[in-house]
Amino acid sequence: MQNIKFLDLQKQQKIIKKTLDKRMERVLNDSSFIMGPEVRELENRLRDFSKVKYAITCASGTDALMLAMMAMNIGAGDAVFCPSFTFPATAEAIAITGATPIFVDVGTKTFNICYKDLERNIENLENKKLNAKAVLAVDLFGLPANYSKLTKIAGRYNLKVISDAAQSYGGKYQNKAVGSLADITCTSFFPAKPLGCYGDGGAIFTDDELLKENTESLRAHGKGKTKYEIIKIGLNSRLDTIQAAILLSKLEVFEAETLEKNRLAEIYNSELSNHYQKPLILKNSKSSWAQYTLKSNKRDKITSFLKEQNIPTMIYYPVPMHKQPAYKKYLLKNSQLKNSEKLSSEVFSIPIHPYLSELQLEYIIENLNKVSKKF
Ligand SMILES: *Cc1c(COP(=O)(O)O)cnc(C)c1O
């Protein structure tokens, strides 16, 4: 079988083309390329979609995380807890403010931050000079983290909960939408994310008016009431009007796409061999399936067999953050990051986009089941 794509943005573009062309033409004619009306329109749509008070767009998911840290006045002398098994931007956003990322292990089934290890790390920090400020949870591969446990622990130690929802937009936790699950939520519109634009983009969600005001100021150089009254040291981090128009077009198919990916995930989960540890599907939570990730201790043999059959796979992530040259200085002596290390050597992701055909799906399942008996 030919042409199984890991992600099929071309097919998606064909489907939204009419709306997209209309919206793009309007932006070009209007020529309000920065903070044009589509930006506000999108922010209102995102706010309503997530059932949250405020949605503020910005230039990338990484910036969203950085803006969230800055809006909460997190900086030198502060500690922020985050998982080690994640995309580099999570820890980067903490470190770049001068704060210290404290790496916490993840659960082997959810791939998300382990609340027991979080609590252990908070307790261990008490004799150090750092000021524990926040937990930055990641909704890895699209599955929301355990926010009810995390919120309880955060409350006990007076920490804020920040959500790195770069991979989970469109997902739900206890029937509540991603965006409304933490004190502040950050997402990314990088093209390959569940809701992606045609370049870089991101957004922040919060119910807190002060955080909203801080974020809006910080994304525009720290402006005050007027453009040239500067009350904070900020960034240039706005979402382009063109990207907002693209996202508005994509929102028209977004819910249907998320549903379709959930249908595919259920088929994978029931039909794939138990040789693989399959991702969790939780009752009151819904993943946005940024990735469908399997585990096998024969990963390399399996992925090279699949490659020969023209089935693309990816490895997210081959190295946990505490093993990265730039970040290993943050590794604490008493850390226990065994799950993060093991997962890095066993995980691999297979195609799960809404434009996979039934034939392609069957072909992928058949080959995965075939190869599971081989090694
Ligand atoms: C993609 C991603 C980011 C960064 O988003 P960008 O828009 O690429 O800057 C941050 N965290 C996680 C978990 C991601 O997957």
Neighbours of 73 (CB within 10 A): 11
pLDDT score at 283? 86
Q: pLDDT above 90 covers what percent of the chain?
A: 95
Q: What is the pLDDT of residues 230-263, one digit of tens each?
A: 999 999 999 999 999 999 999 999 999 999 999 9
Tell me if 156 sits within 8 A of 110, measured CB to CB: no
Please give the angle made by the CA atoms of 67, 73 and 77, to the nearest 5 degrees.
115
Residue 331 — pLDDT band, cuts 50, 70, 90? very high
What residues contact 55, with CB distance under 8 A and at least 6 apart?
Answer: 43, 44, 46, 47, 179, 203, 204, 205
Tell me if 327 sits within 8 A of 95, measured CB to CB: yes
Ligand 1 atom having least distance to the Cα of 189: 7
Question: 76 C-alpha vs ligand 1 centroid, how far in Å?
Answer: 23
Q: What is the pLDDT of residues 271-306, one digit of tens each?
A: 999 999 999 998 899 999 999 999 999 999 999 999
- Name the residue with tokens 């297979």: 350
Instruction: Report residue 170 as tokens.
Output: 């469109």
Our answer on whether the CB atom of 62 is closer than 6 Å to any ligand 1 atom is: yes
With 0-12 / 13-18 / 19 or more C-beta atoms within 10 angstroms meaning exposed / middle / buried, residue 21 is: exposed
- Residue whose CB lies within 8 A of the most ligand 1 atoms, among 87, 235, 243, 349, for a mutation test: 87
Our answer on whether the CB atom of 344 is closer than 6 Å to any ligand 1 atom is: no
The mean of the pLDDT values for the chain is 97
pLDDT score at 375? 80
pLDDT score at 333? 87
Q: What is the mean pLDDT of residues 344-354?
A: 98
Ligand 1 atom having least distance to the Cα of 193: 1
Ligand 1 atom having least distance to the Cα of 200: 7
The phi and psi torsions of 47 (rounded to 5 degrees) equal -60, -50
Residue 128 has pLDDT above 90, yes or no: no
Our answer on whether the CB atom of 87 is closer than 6 Å to any ligand 1 atom is: yes
Ligand 1 atom having least distance to the Cα of 190: 7
Residue 2 has pLDDT above 80, yes or no: no
Residue 127 has pLDDT above 70, yes or no: no
CA–CA separation, 370 and 375 (whole Å): 10
Residue 125 has pLDDT above 90, yes or no: no
The helix, strand and coil proportions of the chain, stated in percent and rounded to the nearest 5, come to 45, 15, 40
Instruction: Report residue 348 as tokens.
Output: 């691999």
Our answer on whether the CB atom of 200 is closer than 6 Å to any ligand 1 atom is: yes
Ligand 1 atom having least distance to the Cα of 90: 11
Residue 334 — pLDDT band, cuts 50, 70, 90? confident
Q: What is the mean pLDDT of residues 163-186?
A: 98
Our answer on whether the CB atom of 351 is closer than 6 Å to any ligand 1 atom is: no
With 0-12 / 13-18 / 19 or more C-beta atoms within 10 angstroms meaning exposed / middle / buried, residue 145 is: buried
Our answer on whether the CB atom of 89 is closer than 6 Å to any ligand 1 atom is: yes
Q: pLDDT above 70 covers what percent of the chain?
A: 99
The phi and psi torsions of 203 (rounded to 5 degrees) equal -155, 160
Our answer on whether the CB atom of 90 is closer than 6 Å to any ligand 1 atom is: yes
Q: What is the pLDDT of residues 195-214, one digit of tens each?
A: 999 999 999 999 999 999 99
DSSP annotation of 278: P
Question: 64 C-alpha vs ligand 1 centroid, how far in Å?
Answer: 9
Residue 184 has pLDDT above 70, yes or no: yes
